[in-house]
Each structure stands twice: as C-alpha cells, then as structure tokens.
Amino acid sequence: MYVALIGQDGQIRDVAPIPPAALSGLQETLKSLKEVPKSRRARRTPAFPAITSQHSTPMPGTSSFLVLTGSFSPSVAKQPMLWSEGEGFDLATPTGTLRVQGLTIGENASLQQYVEEELGPERIKELAGLLDVYFLLTHGQEQSENVEVTVKQILQRIGKGDHADDNDEQAHLLNTALYLARTYVVSISSKQTRISPLIVLESVTTDQYGTIHLRYHLGEETFESIYGPKPNIFPLPTPRILGYHGARSPHEIMLYTFLGNRLAQGEGISLYFVTLCIQSGLLRPEKLQPGQKNRMRDAQQMIEGLVQLERDAFIQCDLHPDFHTVVAVNALLEPDYLDTLAEGTKERLKETLRALGGYQREDLLAKRRAALQRLLDTEHSREDRQKENAVFCTRLTIHPGSQFLTKQQSFLSRHEASTENI
C-alpha cells in the first residue's frame, strides 16, 4: 500500500509506502479531512502619505462652520428627553442652532445616539480627516467631484495606525460622516438661515472582503469658502489636533477651531474672556458664576490653552493686565514654566515680571486670584457695552500668529496658481 501526494494540477508530487499496521489509522485520518476553502483576501489598499509635523488642513472660515464645530464642544446642550424617537431634532450650539435630520427613521435613531453618546472634541479629528483627504485627492477642482476612499485610509491618515482596522474606530468615523452629511445650520446667533451640510455623502458600501468605502464631496458653501473665487480659510494645524486627547485636552482643540475661524473672518478679534469661554463652547455661562466649583481651575485651563496656541505661533495676544498677570505669576511660581513660553509672550511679560518679582508666594497667589476674578466678571463682560471698564474688566485682543499667516498665505497662493492654470 502507498500514499501519494498529488498537486492541484493532477501531477504526483511524492509517493511513500504504508506499513500494514498504519493503514487503519491513515484511513480514519483521511475520512476526517474536509476540503478547506481558499481564504479570500482583500486587495491591499494603499495608505495615504503620512501627515508631516508641519502639515495644515484648510478649513472654512465661515459663521456656519463656527456653529457646526460648536456642536462638538463639551458644553453643548444635549436634550435627548425632548427628541422624538426616530425623528430629526434641533441642537443648540454657542453661536447658533443646527437641525439634525436623517433620511430614514433608522438614520435618525443613529444620529440621536451619536449626538448623545459620541459627539465631542475627539470627533473633530475625524472631521479634519474627511476634509484633509478631500483636499489631498482633489485640490478642489469641482464642487460635485466625489472622492472614493476607504474608512481605513482616512483613519490611517489621521494617525490611527494599526487601529485603523478596529470596528469601533471605523464605526466612529462613519457616524461622524453621517452627522456631517445630515446636519444643517438653521440659525446663526438670532438670524434664521438654512445652510447645506458640510459634506454630501453619496454612498457607503462594503465589499466582499468587508472593506468599507465612502463616496462623498463637499457641500456648496464649504467648497466655496475653501476653493471658491474668494476663499476664506484658516489653516488647522492637523498634527497638533491629532495629538490631543478629546477628553483630556478639549481646550486646545476647541480654541484652534474657534479662534482660527474668527481670525479667518478678520485680521484680529477683540472679545472678553467670558465671551471666549462661552462661544468656544468650553464653558457654560453658569459655570462662570461666583461660587461655582472649579471656576478658577477652568479659567486657568483656558489661559493655558491660549498660551499653547501662542507657543505654536497660531495666535498672538496683545498685552492684557489680567491675562498676563496670571501667566506671569505662573512663571514666578514655576521657574521652568517661563522657558516654555513663546518669545513674544516672554517679551510682553517683562514689565509684569519685574513688578511682581519682589512678592512672596502668598501675595502672588492673591494677585493671580484677583486677576482671574476680573477676567471672570460676567457683569462687566457684556459685549454690548460700548465702553470697557478698565477697573473691572477689559477685552482680550488676539491677532493671527506668524505660522497662521504663513500657512494661510501658502494655501491662498496655491489656490491662485491652480486657478490660473485652469
């Protein structure tokens, strides 16, 4: 008796004799063998080029985009008890109102769950990824032109690496894409309007290998703001945003989007600290009131967020008596802290540091507390006041930083060159 190894082409590869004592065991083994189906493998989807440390993504500098990004803030009011099951619903943000309306009952149910459980600063990374991939593939040649990409490619682009295959990560991105495609701006401040969603999601398909494909293009206003004849954009420092954790570092994420948008609409902005806290979506008005738990800590986190944006040369803050008193006291209490500040910040702090240099720790803490209290003075921080009260509170004045201007001009020059070549 012999056993033969035969290839798929029918050719005999090997033959070996079988001892009589082993025959029965071999027969049982052969009976237990089943044909093993060939494993189906998806074609390897090429990853997009990695985002470099100096990369930026062009974002629309519009009031409607400010309303939309405000919905990702940690303080946005979510009221699921008022939402009818399976129906669309309104969502109030610090600068306006959104209408979230799916095409089916199932979509509305998914959108309600997404807003209640997932929507937050972390999801801005996925928003940035969707806009960045669109920019990478099209450079805005035509508004109705679709990009066709896999969910995995977008997740790889925003730094998910090996986690780009995770079901949870892919589900988060799909939910964000659906939210951006089904959300309309219906009011800005108190003015009624209706502005199309950020993206138009043409299709979501899954192939035989389980790979999820997206097909989408930008909404009309978004496209016009970034790629139109008169673009109005701000450069989002994508690597910085991707490096922050939405729950642990919401201040930096929200300040980049809020201040970037406001600066894109003008050369500089002037607003009270209280206004910045509220309109950026980082703090609700009630959290700023005297006696509120962690009020001072929250204000310090806002200030540190602004200091970080100055470190990155994204903004430049004019000298402010209370804001810079807080920063100067922090530098005196923590000597290493001064070395981490931007050169421009250090220059503006010189006089304040000299004035505070002779005070003891207890006196410094008292001066910092008084400065924070003036910054948080809601009574004297009303934007409708014609004149500031220098004794109680003054507005912060913020300009675009050098990196902001350089990146913004780079996008505008590239856009101008591509338009001339058409």
Percent of the chain residues topping a pLDDT of 90: 70
Which pLDDT score, from 0 to 100, does residue 18 have? 60
Which pLDDT score, from 0 to 100, does residue 36 have? 37
- What DSSP state is assigned to residue 140? T
Domain boundary among 235, 254, 284: 235
Q: Are residues 55 and 172 both part of a single domain?
A: yes
Angstrom distances, CA of residue 253 to CA of 121, 256, 316: 7, 5, 17
Q: Are residues 186 and 77 both part of a single domain?
A: yes
| CA dist., res. 400 & res. 256, Å (int) | 11
pLDDT tens, position by position, 55-82: 999 999 999 999 999 999 999 988 888 8
Calculate ∠ Cα 52-240-281, nearest 5°. 150
Q: Is the pLDDT of residue 53 over 90?
A: no
Q: Are residues 157 and 287 both part of a single domain?
A: no
Q: Are residues 186 and 271 both part of a single domain?
A: no
Structure tokens at 79: 């009221």
Percent of the chain residues topping a pLDDT of 70: 89
- What DSSP state is assigned to residue 286? G
pLDDT tens, position by position, 274-295: 999 999 999 999 999 988 889 9
Q: Are residues 198 and 98 both part of a single domain?
A: yes
CB 118 within 8 A of CB 172: yes
- The average pLDDT across 85-100 equals 94
- The average pLDDT across 130-141 equals 91
Calculate ∠ Cα 196-192-59, nearest 5°. 40
Which pLDDT score, from 0 to 100, does residue 389 have? 81
Q: Is the pLDDT of residue 42 over 80?
A: no
Which pLDDT score, from 0 to 100, does residue 77 have? 85
CB 211 within 8 A of CB 170: no
Band of residue 335 on the pLDDT scale cut at 50, 70, 90? confident
Half-sphere exposure of 85 (CA within 13 A, CB side): 0
Range(s) of the domain holding residue 385: 267-413
User: Closest Cα to residue 214, out of 185, 241, 176?
Assistant: 176
In this structure, of 35-39, 166-170, 240-244, the range with the lowest mean pLDDT score is 35-39
Q: Is the pLDDT of residue 37 over 60?
A: no
Q: Are residues 230 and 294 both part of a single domain?
A: no
CB 67 within 8 A of CB 97: yes
31 inside domain = no
Which pLDDT score, from 0 to 100, does residue 41 have? 56
Q: Is the pLDDT of residue 47 over 70?
A: yes
CB 154 within 8 A of CB 128: no
Q: Are residues 227 and 327 both part of a single domain?
A: no
The mean predicted confidence, pLDDT, of the chain is: 89
Q: Is the pLDDT of residue 108 over 80?
A: yes
Q: Is the pLDDT of residue 409 over 70?
A: yes
- Residues 6 or more apart whose CB falls under 8 angstroms from that of 416 comprise none
294 inside domain = yes
- Residues 6 or more apart whose CB falls under 8 angstroms from that of 167 comprise none
Q: Is the pLDDT of residue 38 over 60?
A: no
Q: Are residues 334 and 196 both part of a single domain?
A: no
Q: Are residues 182 and 328 both part of a single domain?
A: no
H-assigned helices in 63-165:
63-70, 105-117, 124-138, 151-157
CB 214 within 8 A of CB 177: yes
164 inside domain = yes
Q: Are residues 191 and 75 both part of a single domain?
A: yes
**Count of the separate structural domains present in the chain:** 2
- Residues 6 or more apart whose CB falls under 8 angstroms from that of 323 comprise 273, 303, 306, 317, 371, 375, 396
375 inside domain = yes
In this structure, of 28-32, 136-140, 238-242, the range with the lowest mean pLDDT score is 28-32
160 inside domain = yes
418 inside domain = no
Q: Is the pLDDT of residue 244 over 50?
A: yes
Q: Bigger pLDDT: 255 or 32? A: 255
21 inside domain = no
Q: Are residues 303 and 226 both part of a single domain?
A: no
Q: Bigger pLDDT: 50 or 412? A: 412
25 inside domain = no
Which pLDDT score, from 0 to 100, does residue 52 have? 85
Q: Are residues 314 and 377 both part of a single domain?
A: yes
Q: Is the pLDDT of residue 50 over 90?
A: no
In this structure, of 182-186, 262-266, 384-388, the range with the lowest mean pLDDT score is 384-388
Q: Is the pLDDT of residue 2 over 70?
A: no
